[in-house]
Structure 1
């Protein structure tokens, strides 16, 4: 009875609370200028626009951009995501507002793998990141340093050619051989030697595959919808990550432990040696054991799959276009006439080779640009972008934009002959390596491997498809992972050119 008498008081209190809340929101909105946000597709509760992203995100986002424009604001769970699909917008991000967009979103998986963000690729913007990026650019991946490893590349490409030439099988699996080539080059340059297995019996190839698989899923559901992070346990992602992290650390610890004996006291002949030498000196910042391991892991992860996948797409594109293959072979064989193999000194003369490389990386762009994040509120092309907004540059869509490229779906290397467009991040219609502060520092390294391998393959062999398959039937379907890989292995018949 007493409760019933007091009930009107509860009602008045609730009503007063609601009126106060409405008044507060009204006053707040009056003081805060309305934001001019980019256009957005309709969203669902909790998941936002995640349901609109298919198995090939670059294609899904490209289709949405056709409807909503080159700057489009999505929601991945609770996270605002700006999708950029034009060269003009990319220029604003990479050039005008590069510092404002130089952060990385937190990825729980990448953070765990790379020793709590001690690497370059996935770590947040900080003074530490600036120092280690500078070390990589000046000490590990400069033009002179990359050139110093030319003997490694030439030796490994020669081994590739020998394996194809003396293969006992008529059909050659180029996917496997190109993967082995890049693993061996990266291993020798980064670690000082090839690795099949280490002393603990850990397979380097399998370990690398596990790392690539983890990084392909580096954005777990918990990154976008924190209260659903438990799903990562149910799917087994958490367990796989922990297992991979343990094996990676065991492998890298063995590399560092064995390195002094392996090098016999010599220094500066591979990345581990260089980093250990920097550690002994005064680097001006903390370069401890975990920093060294994370940077080596960065080089291994970034330099292997994307390089071998790029090579595979180039050869597949040449097979699909025999007239272009013939034109390239004519150039390479003329310059290499009388030589048993192409050396790096020959590559500068091969203009059509460079055009073929550029065109393949345009049409079959393999590396998806790692997302950025706004460090502050930014006015971008008239729109208000809030701090913390993630940014996805759809370089695939930009590279196929018909307003920028004539017949963009065609494989035409001639478009790059006598063209100033390059892949170094200064031409925003063409971004295979990204641009700005967060651009890939390994451009020189990747291109040195790619050009030498392709030149020697087309110099030495004539290619055709096995079992009488027609060139027009060659499957050029891609599968999305950490990079855009070919769906099926590249099987060829390689006949030595006389």
Structure 2
């Protein structure tokens, strides 16, 4: 009469037995398997390892554990083995004596996945010291961080540091966030070296006004493990959501560049807008076959084009089963871009899309 109860009663013991069997298998496998020799460390629980022993203040927890287990210890985070060195002598052994064999980094899944756009994005994202890493390092060492290059940039660095000191003097008696001041100084040093322009002022205003937030969000993302980093069996399930969050932040940071105009400096993607039009054969208003990759390119462009954000988001909702009407809508966005390549000419398209989907003919 109540099949739900009987099903629940049958399901619960089966689930518990399956879970118990899995735990027992892992315990026996851990007890009898001979792994590589590792430093001593706290007891690692089955499945989770030492995850719950670190807490939120990881550096404090590791320092306390090092007092018990020594300056070189091993921890288990899920299926990942982590060896921690916490003394100058051990650090010298890791960074100098055995730097080549220990130079590999455990990167987040979207960055180390070879099919991802984030894979090997820059020198700091390489997961191994291969030929590509050595080539890029050579360029950095010879062109950016050479003695000659550093001497030529000394005047810029000195000027920006003096501006920072002057700002701190002007805020005497006020509460100042030093990390924010140092961030602006460092960012302006780099922007002046490469583009001869300040990205931000000390009030947080400027052409890269949102960059500080994006960099902070990327740092938090890259330093926070997702489930697939700890339990690789969840890789495919966890990859898509994590990758989309990374791509949003990375595209927002790196897809824009500074454009100098007569009446000011703007973050611009005009070149990329032209590439999208050319890619989908609409630079001369020619037709295109598939809307899915087209909408993906338009979403990438919204990083610095808020004027198309609403309309592109609306078209994106129907990408599971796109039809000719969605292709027509996407092409209208491209025609709008063709007439407004400069991101300073904003036009809100809400009325256009409300008209397009059944309430009128639309302005185009």
TM range (shorter): 0.5 to 0.7
* Runs (4+) off by over 6 Å: none
The 5 A counterparts of 1:203-218 are 203-217=210-224
Aligned equivalent of 2:315 = none
For residue 72 of structure 1, give the secondary structure of its aligned residue in structure 2: strand
**What's 1:45 paired with?**
46
Distance in 1 (alpha carbons) for counterparts of 2:254 and 2:183: 23
After superposition, the C-alpha distances for 1:156-207 in whole angstroms (9 at most, x for unaligned) are 122223333444x7414142333322221122224442225898x8733333
TM-score (norm 1): 0.39
For 1:181 and 1:108, how far apart are their aligned partners in 2? Answer: 32
Which position in structure 2 is the counterpart of 1:64?
Answer: 65
User: Does residue 225 of structure 2 align to residue 224 of structure 1?
Assistant: no
Q: CA deviation at 1:230?
A: 7.5
Partner residue in 1 for 2:130: 126
Question: Residue 141 in 1 paired to residue 155 in 2?
Answer: no
Deviation at 1:33, TM superposition (A): 8.4
Match of 1:171 among 169, 174, 192: 174
Kindly indicate whether the alpha-carbon contact (under 8 Å) linking 2:71 and 2:85 is maintained by their aligned counterparts in 1. Answer: yes
Contact preservation (8 Å) 1:202, 1:247:
no
Against the structure 1 CA distance between its residues 249 and 43, is the aligned structure 2 distance closer, same or farther, given a 3 Å change threshold?
same
Match of 2:192 among 179, 184, 188: 188
**Is the Cα–Cα contact under 8 Å of residues 38 and 74 in structure 2 kept in the other structure?**
yes
Partners of 2:39 and 2:73 within 8 A in 1: yes
- Output the CA distance in 2 between the equivalents of 1:108 and 1:148: 39
Q: Structure 1 residues 75 and 202 mapped into 2: Cα distance closer, same or farther (>3 Å)?
A: same
Tell me which residue corresponds to 1:247: 252
Residues 355-374 of structure 1 aligned to structure 2 (within 5 Å)? none
Q: What secondary structure does 2:151 align onto?
A: helix
Over aligned residues, Cα RMSD in angstroms?
A: 3.5
Instruction: Tell me which residue corresponds to 2:55.
Output: 54
CA contact (8 A) 1:139 1:145 kept: yes
Residues 6-17 of structure 1 aligned to structure 2 (within 5 Å): none
- Deviation for aligned residue 1:225: 1.0
Rounded Cα–Cα distance in structure 2 between residues aligned with 1:114 and 1:53: 32
Q: Cα distance 1:158–1:226, how it changes in 2: closer, same or farther (>3 A)?
A: same
C-alpha distance after superposition, 1:227-281 (max 9, x if no partner): 34578589x7554323212212322xx35xx59x9xxxxxxxxxxxxxxxxxxxx
Bigger mean CA offset, 88-97 vs 51-60: 88-97
- CA distance change for structure 1 residues 212 and 61 in 2, over 3 Å: closer, same or farther? same
Distance 1:50 1:191, change over 3 A: farther
Higher relative CO (CA 8 A, sep ≥ 6), structure 1 or 2?
1
Matched-pair contact (CA < 8 Å) for 2:85–2:91: yes
Measure, in 2, the Cα distance between the counterparts of 1:198 and 1:163.
Answer: 16
